[in-house]
Structure 1
Amino acid sequence: MMKQAVVLIGMNGYGEHYLEALLKREDITFAGIVEIHPEKSSLLEQVKQRGIPIFSAMDAFYQENRADLAIIATPIHLHTEQAVFALRHGSNVLCEKPIFADMQDQVKWEQAVSESGKWAAIGFNWSFTAPILELKKDIQNGLFGKPKQLKTMVLWPRDEAYFSRSSWSGKLTAADGRPIRDSVANNAAAHFIHNMLFVLGHELQETVSVKQLEAELYRANDIETFDTCAIRLQTESGCELLFYGSHATATEQGPQFLYTFEKGYIVYDCNLDQGIITAYGEDGQEKIYGNPQTNHLDKLDYCIAALTDGRDIPCTYETALGHAAIIETLHENIPAGQPFPREAIDQTAERLRAVIDLEQTMNACFMSGKLPYELQIPWSKPAKQGVIQTLEKGSV
């Protein structure tokens, strides 16, 4: 059986995780890499030793080569252009999250997928894991009844080096005006907002429809967007989704969630019980699902397997649109992150802008299901609201 050919678009940053994994695989043909700065990669020598060709542009690769799968691990504002190019040149696509930062790009993806007959997967890690897929199936089958409230918290400190690692980090737009909207909610912690939408979808590739949001957005770092957020979403069926995320805490916590249903609840905390998702039914029964954080590249294994066995991709470009619509609504309705007052920031921390007692505040919000202003936190501002608009498939 012929091996599937794979091309990697972007070998630095997150792309290095893909590169490391692909170099170890013997079940594929590593057809090439597209990268403008290959010299920045710590794995460049291995790539050269393997004789894997490196191209500076996608058209140069596709002029002489083909690929069954194109993996796109580049900055947010390049995703649409590169994914569409790959699809139109006969490749299935695994594109890193988020899919894009401009909802007008939806039509371009829709047309490229339709005309190519190929699939486009978006790399929201958890959507490709066995624990989450099993949990979603149980929710679909009504094991827990109707959803009442889903809430998630992720406190991941990021220092100045993180925000200066690239020209697009923390930016609203690129130099040419294309939206980036890089933030805690649209990059590092995006997986966990998406997961709440994903597990409530009625079909494998569907997410629940969210119509309204209210949010408080803040920033401790010198960025254009926000590094801290508290977001409340309302689904069409009246279920409340809450997300608390920050890069401006002194200590790390999460991801963790509590999903509450009519007939039970599901809990997860990566720091407790080996990071196992556990469901508790109203009859006292427990069900253990496993740890969705075990392998961050389940998505790669899944997509390579799908090339040969034709399995359905759980997170396609359509599955990722719900998260993208939320991000767009945030930025269109709420001013860029409100700066934390200087006195709220710990001045003793080196290279890390940490807000004093922010962990305690976010934990209090998570436990109570409230936003900071509702708890009368001194630095907080009233939440802003927005109505989430999504395009129907086929509408231009």
Structure 2
Amino acid sequence: MTAVDGANAGPAGPGTVPDVRPDAGPAGGPDGPVPVVLAGGRGHGSWHLENLRRLSAAGRVRLAGVCELQPLAAEELAGFDGVEQSPDLAGLLERTGARITVVCTPIHTHTELALTAARAGSHLLLEKPPTPSYEDFRRLTEGLAAAGTACQIGFQSLGSHALDAIAGLIGGGAVGRVRGIGGAGAWVRGEDYYTRAPWAGRRTLGGRDVVDGVLTNPLAHAVATALRIDGSDRAEDLAGIELEQYRAHAIEADDTSCLRLTTARGTRITVAVTLCAERTADPYLLVHGDRGRITFWYTRDRVLVQRAGHAPEERLYGRTDLLEDLLAHLATGSPLLVPAHRTGAFTRVVEAVRTAPPPVRLTEPVWRRADGPAWRSGGTAPRRVISGVDELVAASAETLSLFSELGADWAVPAGAPGGEEERRP
């Protein structure tokens, strides 16, 4: 539900502009701009609203409606005309005839809203994570198939043109045989990040699964992108999942975690992430080959290739906006970049997180109190910093190891009892 790397980042990441493919389709459809309904116009939904404003100005889409519990103010809808607002998505779709629905609402509402849109014949751009459980994912994909509607999942990093370049490098043997892929994400989030919404940092809410942890929401792109690089993004492509989850904040879900996946093709993938870092750094994936390595900073579309006998090669790539890609799919039949079925392996990770014991609770002095930037506002907010976690995250990506294998005295080996047990140094 959050942007790729924070409050000011859109799908292309900070400082980049969506790079539209030449086959992105005509301006609008045969009957003019494509009517769109936005479900969830605040929080990260405000980025989608701005993207719709851009595409509306280009004549590609028309914002026909906004589904929100509290209507957007006139200033939030500046530049749009005749936008109907309603908390009832089904009725809104019936009245507007929207061909596309963008769903950017709390995680536990994704499944029902997406199925409502599908039943109305409206194609979808559904924010990640697509669903909070694998059972919901099956319901979603079955419902989409029955309705015959397209569904693009909002993993914006999967629109990066760098992915094709990396696939070409690996396929061409540039770094030799791939030994594994390591992911690292170290971000700073204050305590106010977890008070931004009732579902923030929750495993469940009102008896419904939420699963709003660091692996499944803010840094979920690291997992999904690593799976895409390996060509192992479908549900059947995972052979094993090892998981370690921790929390320094007073929340239910994880704010610091690592996992190791074994894919059906035998690749080891590790991802280590935290929201309790000393300082925010661009998250990255490290492809380990037996003759070199590829580093991909996925919010920047930046690739560095290092191999024996060659000078380091670095390049920036463009990115395709996922809503424009959906428009192209509807206009020309071109394949979607992130169809729902290609997030099946990621959703199996969500399911593993959902069904795992509660994250291990870390206590002072494993973490210390500090101040950091407030969430989506000026000023500062209190935060919690886990000592040495920045280095642990980087070491995990470098060695394909879990925290418990790297000497962290607060870490609990994957599969060992832990749960709500307190961990002190």
Same fold (TM over 0.5): yes
SS in 2 for 1:38: coil
Alpha-carbon distance in structure 2 between the residues aligned to 1:66 and 1:42: 23
| Residue-by-residue CA offset, 1:268-311 (whole Å, 9 max, x unaligned) | 3479xx7621334566386655247xx6x821222223222221
- Is the CA contact 1:91–1:118 (under 8 Å) kept in the aligned structure 2? yes
Partner of 1:340: 362
Structure 2: segments with no counterpart, 5+ residues: 1-29, 372-380, 418-425
- Normalising by structure 2, we get a TM-score of 0.81
Partner of 1:394: none
- Is the CA contact 2:64–2:82 (under 8 Å) kept in the aligned structure 1? no
Alpha-carbon distance in structure 2 between the residues aligned to 1:287 and 1:113: 42
The one-letter amino acid of 1:335's match is P
Alpha-carbon distance in structure 2 between the residues aligned to 1:118 and 1:355: 45
Cα drift, residue 86 of structure 1: 0.7
Alpha-carbon distance in structure 2 between the residues aligned to 1:275 and 1:134: 11
Cα drift, residue 138 of structure 1: 5.1
1:28 and 2:67 are equivalent in the alignment: no
Partner of 2:210: 180
- Is the CA contact 1:277–1:290 (under 8 Å) kept in the aligned structure 2? yes
* Change over 3 Å in CA distance of 1:340–1:100 after alignment to 2: same
Cα drift, residue 184 of structure 1: 0.6
Partner of 1:167: 198
2:331 to 308, 330, 354: 308
1:327 and 2:350 are equivalent in the alignment: yes
SS in 2 for 1:254: coil
- Is the CA contact 1:139–1:199 (under 8 Å) kept in the aligned structure 2? no
Alpha-carbon distance in structure 2 between the residues aligned to 1:356 and 1:244: 15
* Change over 3 Å in CA distance of 1:18–1:88 after alignment to 2: same
Partner of 1:37: 70
1:102 to 130, 133, 139: 133
Alpha-carbon distance in structure 2 between the residues aligned to 1:304 and 1:318: 19
Once the two structures are aligned, what percentage of the paired residues are identical? 23
- Normalising by structure 1, we get a TM-score of 0.86
Cα drift, residue 139 of structure 1: 4.1
1:46 and 2:78 are equivalent in the alignment: yes
Alpha-carbon distance in structure 2 between the residues aligned to 1:129 and 1:367: 23
Alpha-carbon distance in structure 1 between the residues aligned to 2:235 and 2:162: 17
Partner of 1:195: 225
Residue correspondences, number: 375
* Change over 3 Å in CA distance of 1:361–1:279 after alignment to 2: closer
* Change over 3 Å in CA distance of 1:141–1:112 after alignment to 2: farther
Q: How do residues 379-390 of structure 1 correspond to structure 2 at under 5 angstroms? A: 379-384=410-415
The one-letter amino acid of 1:347's match is R
Alpha-carbon distance in structure 2 between the residues aligned to 1:340 and 1:90: 47
Higher mean C-alpha displacement, 341-350 vs 124-133: 341-350
1:17 and 2:36 are equivalent in the alignment: no
SS in 1 for 2:239: strand
1:374 and 2:405 are equivalent in the alignment: yes
- Is the CA contact 1:198–1:207 (under 8 Å) kept in the aligned structure 2? no
Cα RMSD of the aligned pairs, angstroms, is 2.6
